[in-house]
């Protein structure tokens, strides 16, 4: 399988009716897509801007990004979406997968995302770490 060097990256910013439900509906997308597209995460944001949920997406091309956007729109459901496409990356660190993150003790042991209480030695002790959970390509 050949991978293209140039990918389409964007932040999809949604206005949704039910923030908690919409965020939960993003979860299945985190494991889908394969090499064609990656939903990096879903972040609830302060709704004062008129938007509630930010979803970074890495896609093979523009049509794939559009397809992911439509899938998310129907799954959330959302009233509207703003697409902020990355035109040129000037981000550090390089390569992007070396991005830092901060993992709290709650996230490490007591999080709803770690229901089984898994020991995650790469993030122990809690604090700043040299790579993001899930080794996502965007940090």
Whole-structure pTM over 0.75, yes or no?
no
Complete DSSP assignment for 21-84: HHHHHHGGGGG--TTTEEE---EE--GGGS--EEEEEEESSHHHHHHHHHHHHHHTTEEEEEEE
Give the mean model confidence (pLDDT) for residues 22-29: 92
Give residue 31's pLDDT band: very low, low, confident or very high (50, 70, 90): confident
Residue 93, SS3? coil
pLDDT of amino acid 29: 94
Q: What is the pLDDT of residue 77?
A: 86
If one compares 98 and 61, the residue with the highest pLDDT of the two is 61
Which residue ranges form the domains of the chain, and what is each CATH number?
A: 8-86 (3.30.70.920), 96-132 (no CATH)
Give residue-wise pLDDT tens across range 125-137.
776 665 444 444 4
Instruction: Assign residue 64 a region (left: φ > 0; alpha: ψ between -120 and 50; beta: otherwise).
Output: alpha
Kindly report, residue by residue over 68-122, the tens digit of the pLDDT: 999 999 999 899 999 999 886 655 555 554 555 566 676 666 555 556 666 666 6
């Amino acid at each position: 399988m050949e991978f293209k060097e140039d990918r389409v990256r964007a932040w999809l910013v949604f206005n949704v009716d039910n923030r908690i439900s919409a965020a939960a509906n993003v979860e299945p997308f985190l494991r889908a897509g394969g090499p064609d597209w990656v939903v990096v995460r879903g972040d609830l944001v302060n709704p004062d801007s008129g938007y509630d949920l930010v979803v970074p997406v890495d896609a093979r091309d523009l049509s794939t990004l559009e397809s992911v956007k439509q899938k998310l729109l129907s799954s959330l459901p959302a009233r509207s979406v703003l697409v902020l496409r990355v035109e040129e990356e000037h981000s550090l660190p390089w390569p992007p997968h070396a991005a830092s993150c901060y993992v709290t003790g709650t996230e490490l042991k007591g999080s709803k995302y770690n229901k089984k209480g898994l020991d995650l030695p790469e993030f122990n002790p809690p604090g700043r770490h040299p790579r993001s959970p899930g080794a996502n390509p965007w940090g």
